[in-house]
Amino acid sequence: MGHGQQETVATSLAGAVSEEISASLAPVDAALESRYPGDPGTRQPVHTVYVPGDAFTADTLRSWGDRALAALDEHAPDAASFAAVLGLSEELAAPVYARVRAKLEREPIEDLRVDFEDGYGPRPDTEEDETAARAARLIAEAYAKGTAAPYMGIRMKCMEAAVRDRGIRTLDVFLTGLMEAGGLPDGLVLTLPKVTYPEQVSAMVRLLEAFEQARGLAPGRLGFEIQIETSQAILATDGTATVARLIQAAEGRATGLHYGTFDYSACLGVSAAHQASDHPAADHAKAVMQVAAAGTGVRVSDGSTNVLPVGPTEKVHEAWRLHYGLTRRALARAYYQGWDMHPGHLPTRYAAVFAFYREGFARAAERLSRYVNRAGGDVMDEPATAKALSGYLLRGLDCGALDLAEVTGATGLTRAALEGFAAPRRGDLTASAP
């Protein structure tokens, strides 16, 4: 049969069959839309910095940036010396170093959490009340002045009986202070630590609902991160993955799952010398978190290292190499966020992130351009890969590793077009062609 001859198309099933199947799957369609809405498409910070409540001041952000720059000046004063420490290629050395310094001057912290849990500890009620009120005032002032980090908020005490009332009160004082100062900032983030049972997440939901009702806020305005710091948060007594239940218990309010390196490791009996984000126990926990969160719009964050880059240059370089390696390892595993515990971690956080996006930029841009233009190549990409390539470029843009002009120049795509590929409508990924 020639190519020009029209095919005869015949079917055997009545239209009612398709209608019946569609009707039977309507609850599943609704569940997919509700439970797996996909990534929210907003910026994800590359890290979270924790600062104890009593140590948080109006100049914390600038102080961290200045201390990080001072560490570079002392221990790696130029691109060549910094590249030698981290093993950066000659091609990457200059642009990465320049961008790290620019980032530390412009936006040293992307996400800051004022800590009222482990980093703060038990205090007299009057003291914690005053500290929570001060945190609200300082954060509100920072947003009003345009000096805030993109994301800021608090980590309250957990929902366990011994500290539950104190945690609820601190959250209330903090959120009320923000409301009295003009309202909740767009970058507000709340963190609920040491979650073990879904009922604790449900309690947080009820708490936030009560605050929204009390202050006349839109339902669902307040979301929160869930910290995974116990083995029970990963595996329940019946053998199921608790973390998946935690996400559902949040009723759409969960924004992130944050791995707590040291509490989780200790919970499993890992000795202190081996508690690290690359321990097999950590890899298992984060893999379960990652699968449970996939498609839900909840993002996964890696933990931290407690090896601080302080002391003589040799010790600082050792700590930098460790932190850089752990960060690169996490990025390759699609954990695009982690924790930083010290200003000296900022240079290697940004170096690792910038190197990750810059070294893969040309290839990613080429593959995406070929996909968009239906051009051939040595890799046959599908819509799911185009989604990943676009997401990669957008994350590089958001953190400052890439510039929009160079991305548009290499791909021919605007940011809006990149976002369209990164967040396709449900069902689009089943197609095999753009």
- Domain co-membership, 388 together with 245: no
Q: Other CB atoms closer than 10 Å to residue 270's CB: what's the count?
A: 18
Q: How far is CA 268 from CA 71, 261, 263, 276, 282, in A?
A: 35, 11, 9, 13, 10
- Domain co-membership, 376 together with 345: no
This prediction's pTM: 0.92
List the pLDDT tens digit at each of the 434 positions of the chain: 556 688 899 999 988 999 999 999 999 999 999 999 999 989 999 999 999 999 999 999 999 999 999 999 999 999 999 999 999 999 999 999 999 999 999 999 999 999 999 999 999 999 999 999 999 999 999 999 999 999 999 999 999 999 999 999 999 999 999 999 999 999 999 999 999 999 999 999 999 999 999 999 999 999 999 999 999 999 999 999 999 999 999 999 999 999 999 999 999 999 999 999 999 999 999 999 999 999 999 999 999 999 999 999 999 999 999 999 999 999 999 999 999 999 999 999 999 999 999 999 999 999 999 888 875 555 555 788 888 999 999 999 999 999 999 999 999 999 999 998 887 654 444 333 33
Q: Other CB atoms closer than 10 Å to residue 369's CB: what's the count?
A: 16
Measured CA to CA, the distance from residue 256 to residue 113 in angstroms comes to 14
Cα–chain center distance at 123 = 30
In a domain, 3, yes or no: no
- Domain co-membership, 231 together with 255: yes
CB distance 168 to 90 below 8 Å? no
Is 140 in a helix, a strand, or coil?
A: helix
- Domain co-membership, 253 together with 298: yes
- Domain co-membership, 281 together with 419: no
- Domain co-membership, 389 together with 254: no
Q: How many domains does the chain have?
A: 2
Range of the domain at 211: 47-358
Cα–chain center distance at 424 = 20
In a domain, 25, yes or no: no
Among the candidates 307, 335, 358, a domain finishes at 358
Helix (H) or strand (E) holding 80: helix 79-86
* Structure tokens given for 228: 């995974």
- Domain co-membership, 329 together with 377: no
DSSP tally for the chain: helices H, then strands E: 16, 8
Measured CA to CA, the distance from residue 168 to residue 160 in angstroms comes to 11
In a domain, 41, yes or no: no
Cα–chain center distance at 306 = 20
Among the candidates 358, 386, 405, a domain finishes at 358
Measured CA to CA, the distance from residue 67 to residue 77 in angstroms comes to 14
Measured CA to CA, the distance from residue 348 to residue 323 in angstroms comes to 7
Instruction: Write the CATH number for 138.
Output: 3.20.20.60
- Domain co-membership, 230 together with 333: yes
Among the candidates 303, 333, 358, a domain finishes at 358
CB distance 303 to 282 below 8 Å? yes
Q: Other CB atoms closer than 10 Å to residue 65's CB: what's the count?
A: 19
Which has the closest alpha carbon to 309: 280, 333, 343, 274? 343
